[in-house]
Amino acid sequence: MVHQRNYDIVAITETWWDDSRSWSTALDGYKLFRRDRKGRRGGGVALYIRGVLDVIGIETNDDEVESLWVKIKGKANKTDILLGVCYRPPNQDEEVDNLFYKQLNNVSGSSALVLVGDFNLPDICWELNTAEKTAI
């Protein structure tokens, strides 16, 4: 499907990838960036980015936050784009949410930011387009 649709970028959450599999995750013509969940099953994020794009991976040291960041270099004096993919498990602690916010603040020095993912935010009301924290 990726080749048929000619996508430049594909972001995936809940990859469930780890080093125990012998199958290949490579796609011809794409650079793969991945961050597997450490220490437990499930989760993980990945980005496939067309090989013609000039991309730099951005390292973060937060193993608890399931996110992956890259900078796509702008061509001909165009602005660089910071691209992030994040997976937030439904039962994630507020402490890890705060680590993500801190990480977002640290990496978002670029003037252009694209953030995609599965955020599993339980307090979103789609009818009213609100997201209020409910007291437990």
Per-residue pLDDT reduced to its tens digit, 6-59: 899 999 999 988 777 666 777 889 999 999 888 788 889 999 999 999 999 998
- Give the separation between CA 92 and CA 126, rounded to whole angstroms: 21
What are the CA-CA distances from residue 32 to residues 36, 80, 92, 94, 105 (Å)? 12, 19, 26, 30, 24
Ordered domains of the chain (ranges, CATH): 2-131 (3.60.10.10)
Instruction: Tell the residue number behind the tokens 């890890």, with chain if given.
Output: 96
pTM for this entry: 0.82
Q: Which residues contact 60 (CB under 8 A, 6 or more apart)?
A: 67, 69, 103, 106, 107
